[in-house]
Structure 1
Amino acid sequence: MARFIRKLLPRRWRPDHIEIPVVRLHGAIMAGSSRFRNDLSLSSTAGMLEEAFSDKDAPAVAISINSPGGSPVQSRLIYRRIRDLAAEKNKKVHVFVEDVAASGGYMIAVAGDEIIADPSSIVGSIGVVSASFGFTELIKKIGVERRVHTAGSNKSTLDPFKPENKQDIEHLKALQLEIHETFINLVKERRGEKLSDNPDLFTGLFWTGIRGLELGLIDGLGDMRSHLQSQYGPKTKLKLIAPPRGLFGRKLPSAEIGFGGIGAGFAEGIVNAAEERALWSRFGL
């Protein structure tokens, strides 16, 4: 309706440029939210995506991604929300990779109708990883006795304070294979014949944007502003969709700290920060 009304206006009153909403999806992908970290989840991104796709005058939405991955569930939920909104609002989705779109970050990237990356960006890492620590020797040295009581023989599976169990590892690997297969099928569905037949494509390896283009993981090399201006005209403007802010300009968390209070939240923040740091460090960042 708005476009129709603008056509009725004298030419001198009509906007002489196209404005493209931009959503920045930057951070590790984790369930929930915390005031101690910047992360991505469906709850933290849904509002921005809804606002961007609700712009009736924009022919497309641009999404900037900089993520080393994280939760496969949250990655797929964000991917699905982007595709659903694109279909509902009939808009093209342009995805731009900054430093990295790997693992779950790449899963979100394939929601784009096209993926553009910098030549030095990192893309790929189509795989599944689980990591933890074992503390069995440590608790012996400091004289701590571990006491666990369960209802269900497998309830303490993968307990870090117990020696690794062959059956536990086999069960974990079976879960990983199912998640990996879901990831592979999603990439094949979206990228189709663009993908090369390189046998390493789905092994978890990652590549630069240059190599990613050769493998069919992305569609081109470049930056957001230049690419969109080449697509929609030199006067194209970008409109950043910002996350909601609180009274003092801080990003509002989508969920508050629970019953543990500030101390528990701070401890959780330290653990989550270490986890996020490990995700980024895999790609030298």
Structure 2
Amino acid sequence: MTKQPTRPTGLEDDPLDDFERRAITLLGDTKGVYVAGTGPAVIVMAEMPGISPHVARFSRWVRDAGFTVYMPSLFGRDGAFPHAEEGAAVLQRACVSAEFRAFAANASSPVTRWLRALASLAHEQCGGRGVGAIGMCFTGNFALSMMLEPSLLAPVVCQPSLPLNDPAGIQISPDELATVKARLEREDLTVLGYRFEGDRFCTAQRFAAYAQALGDRFVANVLPGEAANPDPPPFFKHVVGCPHSVVTAHLIDAAGEPTLAARDEILSFFARRLALEADLGRSRGGG
């Protein structure tokens, strides 16, 4: 497979022209999904305020590691550089959206039903043992809820931030959580979690709640706050205001950095769970 260059991540928007944008209708609802690559499917769900150049960069790393990336457009302007004012407006709209129920604990966001259907479709289209998924920030917990879909084998929750009004809450119903826990035990699966120390949106209390709910099936990874990129885009500097986005805006793309190691752990997790026989080293390299 020919390695394609990583897009620059300066102040410019990302045209996403190395992805195929598909209009996918599931459960009567049509959403745009950016698709690229070959191999087992991995669903990459963007953080606030949408599919930014940093989110697209992560998807390209997944693609170059030998996977087919499905990147659904759930909010925001696709490819937009995350400016503070525009990003804050996207966040405000999402907070009142019935699709996300940003302030509801003990209940999954309704959009996760569509995402479970997407995982099933992606598995049908790509084959292999199953599908991986990573959610970030607003979508962080979605990969856990998607474990209700049998094809989902490799869930990653990055800085899960919902519900916004309960720092120790998990956005999934008790019945669904029990079903997921039973499946993790039955199939010997794990959930990877990532957050920064000092994150105001994904707190230590939230990770403690995940650990209490899932036991040793939840593998928590907490990075020191000083490992975060000190100069993220304006939305993350002025609206988020703390170390937050482990594999996107706050990732430092340099050898030896904890955030780059986290990226590599996630790629290896996908490869291991989806039984990908490939040399991950061939796709490593910064942008």
Same fold, TM exceeding 0.5?
Answer: no
TM-score with structure 2 setting the length: 0.33
Q: TM-score, normalised by structure 1?
A: 0.33
- Point out the structure with max Rg over C-alpha: 1
